[in-house]
Chain A
């Protein structure tokens, strides 16, 4: 077990190192002076140049430069944005929580829809309701996220005028940023009309969350259905029926847990898909997240921001994936099962 964890962590470190290397390569690959791309100072005087060369070790060997780059990454000095002149760490800390928040709500919504529907389809395997749920899932799975988002806007916002289409909350609410997670920030703020603000934030959240959760819902549904079908045809379920338990008892005691446990890690893995989809949807809903921010940075040729943003997002995804993988191994139901048998 420990070897496995060490192996995974080793792989994580190596991946992170490669990501850092790739981002450092970007510094040189982007047009312009590498020192400018590192520091975010776009107009460099000779005096500044000497100082920055020394600071970033750009006058030394490549290995030396790269080690210094890693050191600065670790210390939180990621350079500044060409456009805003703000430290990139601060900018990312502002925008990344918005994306994570959107991804999290979408994941919760997908679970709320995907698991019950998948369960239902699994139980009704081979019947009309199974096929109709399955064909719905195929539809949901094949609809492009951005197109779905636009359709939702067209109907719920432009046609019916029910829901807003941009941002996280009406700009009239001045919510001071504490964590970057809007719901928490509203509750933590001292504004007068918290309830109105929450309703407003929720109405902003609805369409983006639905647009990205539909694809994930269908994936989770398929996984649940598959797992339920497998569990229901297993020997211990048959044995349970043979013992004379009612179908309700069999399902709740033996079916539910055994069908859900194997899909939990797979479901968690969907978070990374959600995050990437969130980044697409953000630009449509002007959601102030990291995806929207990155696209702006690309459009404005803000090289330091592109480099730091891509690094931050990829590191988040890699770390999250490895984390889920490890927790899965630690709480592996099969392993626990074996141990119980031995006892």
Chain B
């Protein structure tokens, strides 16, 4: 074999060049650069279905639009949970509780973007336009983008509001058909956003009204730029924002459905803020020095709803038997890793209307089996459990929970078929209503307990799609409607307790847990506050 020492000369510089080029890349990354300092990346869990929160109740949609693009007449203070001024600088309520007068803020500008340049400032017409859109069935925008306003419809707010008057350019008067102690709270929710009437007219003239929800214009801290499905949403700072708060130049929602990947991105600094950290990952976040984990008791409930419009789930005893067949404590332990409390009713302990002496169904597989047999459910009966493919605060891992329930139900002779699709397909198919039962839940949109009862279990909310049990009890509806006519909390609590008794008796759904709310972010992010109701807010957040 010939000698070839001299070849060393050709190979060595090549390898050196390669290695040094790696080092160059690695070093480049460790130096924080300007673009990365003035922009904030939020790793979100999914695509919003629209950029108009009036049209949806999903938290993902609210996160991407409510507090970024828009403002509301009123806001909740995330620290005190009190209602504070938003676009309305102050308001008055008449003694009979039927007339509300709002004075609107001046010098508020709508976003000026490539697709729309406003010619006037925000005024009363915009508020009337925004409310008439969901309230007034003849409104030219009512049927745009499907014409479903689930939140307002489930609370029957369109019937509650009698009329809206324009007093002058910055004052409006709203009259109600009956007193409703939750009205102001509803105006401060994620959904009660203010759209631009001028933009509405502009799009109507162009013949493309549906763009109002796809290329949104609002008065909020950030302007929408672009949404690339499954990848990202890009916003930029609204330089004319009326509130004097710090804003980052760029805000980006990096759409990352996989929870572990979101955490990994937070660790590598590819995201600054993380949506919905999985409960199994909380320890990892706590251990890392450059990450911060905030927590707050959440106003939410995770539950297992039966489709009561379908046999055999229209039978109360079958529902009761199935409820008894599962061990809730075990589910809470395994799925929430202890960061939740077991639920007996639908209202969580952090609400003033929580009933602490309420008894939930107890775990009793033997009785459950007997009860099933008595009602003609033989061994081998198959039940579909629909499990959400995404983590929600109220249920961090529905698929895993369904798997555990599969085991419990097998013990009473019931086979479980777990159904899960990609989130948007899931919601679409869910709306078709062909399910036996579903693991889902609810996060409150405002601090009022009515926000649990009416959207989840009232008759009108079947049509609006938030009543997953499709359960309707006129007696229950009467109680919760009566509760609204009182502003005294004690009277309301008494009425809600009677409503709780009906739920406990009929079991349209099995409440499972009330979870804590978590928020994780990198330590150079400042002033990010957990919003106890609904969407995340990036106005006022800055990086160091």
Smallest CB–CB gap between A31 and chain B, Å? 13
A23-39 vs B, CB cutoff 8 Å, 1 = contact: the mask equals 00000000000000000
Residues of B within 8 A of A173 (CB): 35
Contact of A247 with B41 at beta-carbon distance under 8 Å, contacts A84-B229, A153-B264, A203-B26 already known = no
Most B CB atoms within 10 A — which of A153, A166, A250? Answer: A166
Which of A84, A161, A246 is within 8 Å of B268, CB to CB? A161
Most B CB atoms within 10 A — which of A172, A173, A246? Answer: A172
Contact of A116 with B422 at beta-carbon distance under 8 Å, contacts A199-B25, A203-B26, A206-B22 already known = no
- When the two chains form their complex, are residues A193 and B268 in contact, meaning their CB atoms are under 8 A apart? no
Is B245 part of the binding interface, using a Cβ–Cβ cutoff of 8 Å?
no
- When the two chains form their complex, are residues A161 and B267 in contact, meaning their CB atoms are under 8 A apart? yes
Is A300 part of the binding interface, using a Cβ–Cβ cutoff of 8 Å?
yes
Residues of A within 8 A of B33 (CB): 193, 196, 200
Residues of A within 8 A of B10 (CB): 116
Smallest CB–CB gap between A58 and chain B, Å? 25
Is A331 part of the binding interface, using a Cβ–Cβ cutoff of 8 Å?
no
Is A244 part of the binding interface, using a Cβ–Cβ cutoff of 8 Å?
no
Smallest CB–CB gap between B229 and chain A, Å? 5
Is B28 part of the binding interface, using a Cβ–Cβ cutoff of 8 Å?
yes
| Nearest residue, chain B, Cβ from A161 | B268
- When the two chains form their complex, are residues B1 and A125 in contact, meaning their CB atoms are under 8 A apart? yes
- When the two chains form their complex, are residues B36 and A170 in contact, meaning their CB atoms are under 8 A apart? yes
Q: How many A-B residue pairs have CB under 8 A?
A: 118
Smallest CB–CB gap between A257 and chain B, Å? 14
Contact of A248 with B6 at beta-carbon distance under 8 Å, contacts A126-B1, A202-B25 already known = yes
Contact of A301 with B425 at beta-carbon distance under 8 Å, contacts A161-B269, A248-B7 already known = yes
| Nearest residue, chain A, Cβ from B236 | A174
Contact of A286 with B261 at beta-carbon distance under 8 Å, contacts A83-B229, A196-B35, A296-B230 already known = yes
- When the two chains form their complex, are residues B35 and A193 in contact, meaning their CB atoms are under 8 A apart? yes
What count of chain B residues pass the 8 Å CB interface test? 43
- When the two chains form their complex, are residues A120 and B7 in contact, meaning their CB atoms are under 8 A apart? yes
Is B311 part of the binding interface, using a Cβ–Cβ cutoff of 8 Å?
no
Which of B64-72, B148-156, B250-258, B503-511 lies on the face that meets chain A? B250-258
- When the two chains form their complex, are residues B234 and A174 in contact, meaning their CB atoms are under 8 A apart? yes
Chain A interface residue number, banded: 35 or more
Contact of A112 with B14 at beta-carbon distance under 8 Å, contacts A232-B2, A248-B4 already known = yes
Smallest CB–CB gap between B227 and chain A, Å? 11
Which of A161, A196, A247 is within 8 Å of B2, CB to CB? A247
A327 to B417, CA, bound (A): 55
- When the two chains form their complex, are residues A116 and B36 in contact, meaning their CB atoms are under 8 A apart? no
A174 to B28, CA, bound (A): 19
- When the two chains form their complex, are residues A116 and B268 in contact, meaning their CB atoms are under 8 A apart? no
Is B270 part of the binding interface, using a Cβ–Cβ cutoff of 8 Å?
yes
- When the two chains form their complex, are residues A157 and B2 in contact, meaning their CB atoms are under 8 A apart? no
Residues of A within 8 A of B422 (CB): 299-300
A206 to B22, CA, bound (A): 8
Smallest CB–CB gap between A299 and chain B, Å? 6
- When the two chains form their complex, are residues B15 and A116 in contact, meaning their CB atoms are under 8 A apart? yes
Smallest CB–CB gap between B349 and chain A, Å? 37
- When the two chains form their complex, are residues B425 and A300 in contact, meaning their CB atoms are under 8 A apart? yes
Which of A158, A171, A193, A286 is within 8 Å of B41, CB to CB? A171
Most A CB atoms within 10 A — which of B11, B22, B35, B267? Answer: B35
- When the two chains form their complex, are residues A116 and B264 in contact, meaning their CB atoms are under 8 A apart? no
Q: Which residues of A contact B (CB under 8 A)?
A: 83-84, 112-113, 116, 119-120, 123-126, 153, 157-158, 161-167, 170-174, 193, 196-197, 199-200, 202-203, 206, 232, 237, 241, 246-248, 250-251, 286, 288, 296, 299-301
The contact sample of 6 A-B pairs, CB cut-off 8 A, is A116-B14, A161-B268, A162-B29, A164-B269, A166-B264, A251-B4
Q: Which residues of B contact A (CB under 8 A)?
A: 1-4, 6-7, 10-11, 14-15, 18, 22, 25-26, 28-30, 33-36, 39, 41, 229-232, 234, 250, 252, 254, 256, 261, 264-265, 267-270, 421-422, 424-425
Q: What are the nearest 6 A-B pairs in CB distance?
A: A199-B28, A172-B39, A248-B6, A203-B29, A247-B2, A171-B252
